[in-house]
Amino acid sequence: MTVCPTAIPGRPFGRVLTAMVTPFDEDGKLDLTLAQELATYLVDSVGNDGLVVNGTTGESPTTSDHEKEQLLHAVVEAVGDRATVVAGAGTNNTEHSVELAQAAERAGAHGLLVVTPYYSRPPQEGLFQHFWTVADATELPVMLYDIPPRSIVPIQVDTLKRLAEHPRIKAVKDSKHDLLAGSEVLASTDLAYYSGEDPLNLPWLSVGAVGFVSVIGHVVGDRLRKMLDAFEAGDVAGAREVHNGLLPVYRSMNFVGGVIFSKTALRLCGYETGQPRLPLPGATEEQVRLITTDLWDAGLVLVNPDAAQR
């Protein structure tokens, strides 16, 4: 089985992973040079020990299969020797998901993120067979992505327990907001849990999560690591202090949305990654002002919000 560079016992994909945006140039084309620069920045300067590529925040619905494979090659080449590179490979088509998983393995990814099939609203048996089939398709470890706000259908506790029996299904990225369900799975399986909802990062640690797959990690990966370190050292008050300092960042991200927030926040912090692809628009002037104000409140930008320009 492929070994993730930052995997340790109980943490099969590392600790702090950012769901990386996909950089585009001024013409909206994939910019591989900028992608490598961004990946290097996120790992070496911001403090991430893993990256999720071609996920929701990576605008996977609007990138082609060829672009996904190119992007993975580029990111693995840039940081794959010192960070875990997890490839988003889930769709609502099992056969297509298998193809993406196999392409990700060829591109050198260390693991797969497989989202709950969306739109089709399959029953639990369909979810089980879908995830099992994708996990069977490669030798890569798999992180299940449970996000009913987008997929409608949650992965139920009993289904997660069954899926935990697959030797390559190692973890869950949880965006279900159900700490009780997660606690039941953690208590009865060896699955590792990663918080997939930044405002709940600290609460998830309290019930046994081992790390984060973050959006705000684009700009505060170092603070997320500090929060995780403090919590695991028994300094809950210190972890809470970091969490409270991130409240303005959580607020902006929730209000604007992950892709628009991330690309705008990176730009305000001096890192251009281009505009999102439609149907996601670029940030409005009001959204830029809101994000700037919140980043100012969090101590992340030195520009007076009143002077911020789009």
Q: Give catalytic status of residue 170 as yes or no.
A: no
Question: Taking CA 78 as the corner, what is the angle to CA 86 and CA 175, rounded to the nearest 5 degrees?
Answer: 25
CB count within 10 Å of CB 63 equals: 18
Nearest to 259 by CA among 34, 3, 22: 22
Question: Taking CA 225 as the corner, what is the angle to CA 221 and CA 226, rounded to the nearest 5 degrees?
Answer: 115
Give the pair of three-digit tokens for residue 136.
Answer: 């069977």
Cα 67 from Cα 236, distance rounded (Å): 42
Cα 273 from Cα 31, distance rounded (Å): 9
Nearest to 6 by CA among 46, 53, 43, 58: 43
Question: Taking CA 103 as the corner, what is the angle to CA 90 and CA 272, rounded to the nearest 5 degrees?
Answer: 75
CB count within 10 Å of CB 62 equals: 16
Nearest to 209 by CA among 16, 1, 63, 18: 16
**Does an H or E element contain 253, and which?**
helix 247-256
Tracing tokens 């470890």 back to the chain, one arrives at: 141
Cβ–Cβ under 8 Å, residues 114 and 92 = no
* From 41, 68, 170, 173, the catalytic residue: 173
Q: Give catalytic status of residue 119 as yes or no.
A: no
Question: Which residues contact residue 19 at a Cβ distance below 8 angstroms, ignoring those fewer than 6 apart?
Answer: 51, 52, 55, 56, 57, 58, 213, 214, 215, 217, 258
* From 41, 68, 145, 193, the catalytic residue: 145
Cite the active site residues: 145, 173
